[in-house]
Structure 1
């Protein structure tokens, strides 16, 4: 969408949104099938029967909110592609205030327990989607990009899925690794599990800044390439990476300095606090590399290189990082210290591969391809640039990293 918006092909933005709505509504069905069998799956994984039963109750109430969750994410991406961020902040604050109130009512006043919490979260998801929709309609943000439902949204599903699936894996590969890591920590001891939970929360909070920078990089790079402005895309990429590196460096130093006390924000257990303190010096460099990798992933998404991003994530986490971390965790008996050591080695090489790939991108050629994806060109053949020269290949050697081989017109 950001490439189409940058190319001023505004109606195509709405068509992509319509196509996304249809695809995600269809995705609800396999997700519902999985959620309906939550209890059976948890029992299969040897989880506590009572916990599995309660989880099934929670999920059954949450199931109807899945379309609303998907629609909110779509609306958010729709606005982000146009550089509009404030509506998400406003509606997010409003929905969270509502969520707190409904949780307090159902949990404490009416004593609905787990079911009350589930109903509160379901209400929150619907309110998020509805509030953002009403904001867009009220401010008439959709006027120039939404031309009404059209049969065009039923076209080009193949190319859409080819971008969507790698984009999904870019996020899920890392996310699944942390979830499995938490599961493995629970197999060792309660202390290991508690410390892993604390570090996971800290990692999630610390990642919010590079996550935002990754989104900004994706939007800015995509818009610039869609507009055919290769130089602006390159500058946006460089700026995002520099900001991510500086912010992550400051955050890492702060967490390392507070390693002996930061866990007290979550628990008073001395053993957990001590274990978190031992992991923090490892987590600090992990966060630096993870921030750079996350922002680089945003650049690749903006440039339409999701397949490469998914490939690098898969290699980094499942070929190197996670096997190494699991080996250090169990075979070497280092617990979560070993797990985070393996993950740190993983994101170091992942970041290195990302930066080398971005360094070798031919931004002029990437701009041409973006305009093809945005519907402004019907071919990917070489076309003259603003200098009268012809565009070369997408990737090139390091000797001419930010320009393309020029041939006479």
Structure 2
């Protein structure tokens, strides 16, 4: 039945996407386990230590990880399209070349090394929470070293890296035109969940705990569409870089269909197990009931959020980061967060209101993204991608003769216009020709020293300010539990079957 109903091209594309998604999914779960392992060890040191680690992690995620991750997303566009265009000397590495398994192996080795490091520093050397922080840092170093070692071992750099040169300091502006929208896109999405934790903490400790539990479940379920997103980004970018618009459109359709299928399966599993999911984190019946209540909204939210995730990957592959960057700000903050706060406090839905607000947001966003994707001018997008790959796109006119008139000189984000008609297919000679063509756009040595020097100075100054605050500003005194007003209020007891009462009543202790 499948062979008759599903076209061969769709089956082949599904095979390629699944082949990439499987290892990507496992590698992302293993990457997620790195901080999870640290949390487990911190939990053994006491609740205060684990709470401190959670607060530190949230701060780091908001200020550095989300920003750095977003800036790095520009590589997903440039690398995949450049590799698809066979301009190997301008290619970066691994995922967007379709090389996936090394990330899986590196993440697995990093988890083993991280667990051993945590045990040694915390228990053998008795370094406590400081040892756990050091182990967390070392775990990130491990995975970087393992990937670098693989690149050197397999000599991937021979075809794709020309060595260190002053050229690496050129054309930062074209990269940042893609990187800044990517960073904003990721930060707008990431930060809204941190705000959710803050608002839940304003309600009660129980609701903060339930919110954190659902977030942990969300991290796991989000790995599935995230794996498809990475595969879609690489496949779409490769196709566009090679000048193949039809394959890019086909990849988009198959990726969205696969994401919807996974999301339906996840929703069924979460919905059928919602009353016991809370037991993974706690034995407190009130929190278990709250988690079950929140799952009523999250089961639907994760379906549309999965579509948003994969659509984002398609936009990254096409180089259209500005669309989700603007949409994420409007959707998450002007619509989602505003509605969430209103439902939480004004409508008194409490933490459930946060997830209902986000549900409305992702429904609107997924609908908007899908409409935009299939209304794109894919021929124009392909031309822009080929330009980024620094390869001419030859199209046939209506008479079947080669037509180069479609080559536009309009500037494209992430690209400086060059002519490559004289190239003979030799990567080394192509690289020399491109450098010659870009001479007029090059910064002089003086300009490089001033501009890149200012960048380095700003980074060092920011680090110095952070260090000064750390060492010069005294830590606030820890307040006792009696001074925390949240303990004077408790929620009505929740059970899995009766979980919709949110009335606050005074506790006996407060009387």
User: Which shifted more, 75-84 or 226-235?
Assistant: 75-84
Q: Given that residues 385 and 391 in structure 1 are in contact (C-alpha distance below 8 angstroms), is that contact kept between their aligned partners in structure 2?
A: no
| Shift, 1:78, TM fit | 2.2
Corresponding position: 1:90 with 2:105: yes
* Contact 2:383/2:407 (<8 A) preserved: no
By how many angstroms is 1:306 displaced? 0.2
1:292-307 residue pairs with structure 2 within 5 A? 292-307=307-322
User: Aligned equivalents of 1:129 and 1:180: distance in 2?
Assistant: 30
In 1, the alpha carbon distance for the partners of 2:57 and 2:386 equals 48
**Residue 157 of structure 2 corresponds to residue 142 of structure 1:** yes
Match of residue 119 from structure 1: 134
Name which of 369, 373, 377 aligns with 2:388: 373
* Aligned residues of 2:58 and 2:194 also touching (Cα < 8 A): no
Aligned to 1:132: 147
Picking from 173, 192, 210, the partner of 2:225 is 210
1:342 paired residue number: 357
Aligned CA RMSD, in angstroms, stands at 3.3
* Matched residue, 1:262: 277
**What does residue range 267-278 of structure 1 map to in structure 2 within 5 Å?**
267-278=282-293
Q: How far 1:176 moved relative to its partner?
A: 0.2
Verify: 1:357 aligned to 2:402, yes or no.
no
Q: Secondary structure at the match of 2:93?
A: helix
Q: Kindly tell me: are residues 237 and 109 of structure 1, through their superposed partners in 2, closer, same or farther at Cα, counting changes over 3 Å?
A: same
State the match for 2:340 in structure 1: 325
Residue of structure 1 equivalent to 2:125: 110
Structure 2 counterpart SS, 1:144: helix
Structure 1 residues 286 and 385, CA, compared in 2 at 3 Å: closer, same or farther?
A: farther
Corresponding position: 1:384 with 2:395: yes
Structure-2-length-normalised TM-score = 0.61
2:93 corresponds in structure 1 to 78
Give the Å deviation of 1:88: 0.8
2:168 corresponds to which of 153, 174, 198? 153
Runs of at least 5 residues in structure 2 that lack an aligned partner in the other structure: 1-47, 80-91, 409-511
Structure 1 residues 336 and 70: alpha-carbon distance in aligned structure 2, compared to 1, 3 A threshold: closer
* Ranges in structure 1 where 5+ consecutive residues have no aligned partner: 1-47, 394-409
1:6 aligned partner: none
- In 1, are the aligned partners of 2:70 and 2:183 still within 8 Å (CA)? no
The residue aligned with 1:41 is none
* CA deviation vs aligned residue, 1:195-216 (integer Å, no higher than 9, x gap): 0001001111100010011111
1:246 corresponds to which residue? Answer: 261
Could you list the per-position Cα deviations for residues 86-119 of structure 1 after superposition, in whole angstroms to 9, with x for gaps in the alignment? Answer: 1111011101100001101111222211101011
Measured in 2, the distance between the counterparts of 1:205 and 1:259 equals 15
Matched residue of 1:221: which SS? Answer: helix
In 2, the alpha carbon distance for the partners of 1:357 and 1:392 equals 24
- CA drift of 1:364 comes to 1.9
Q: 2: distance between equivalents of 1:178 and 1:123? A: 27
Structure 1 SS opposite 2:97: coil
Task: Tell me, in whole angstroms, the C-alpha distance in 2 between the residues paired with 1:234 and 1:57.
Answer: 38
The alpha-carbon deviation at position 151 of structure 1 amounts to: 2.9
Choose 1 or 2 for highest CA Rg.
2
Q: Separation in 2 of the partners of 1:57 and 1:79?
A: 28
Using a 3 Å threshold, how does the CA distance of structure 1 residues 272 and 58 change in structure 2: closer, same or farther?
A: closer
Structure 1 segments of 4 or more deviating over 4 A? Answer: 50-60, 68-77, 385-393
Give the TM-score normalised by structure 1: 0.76
Kindly indicate whether residue 329 of structure 2 is the aligned counterpart of residue 314 of structure 1.
yes
Q: Which has the larger displacement, 257-266 or 69-78?
A: 69-78
- Which residue of structure 1 lines up, in the alignment, with residue 424 of structure 2? none
How far apart are 1:373 and its partner, in Å? 1.5
1:131 deviation in Å? 1.2
Count of aligned pairs: 338
> How far is the alpha carbon of 1:391 from its aligned partner?
6.2
Cα pair 2:71 2:183 within 8 Å, conserved: no
Deviation at 1:262, TM superposition (A): 1.1
Change (3 A) 1:384 1:348: same
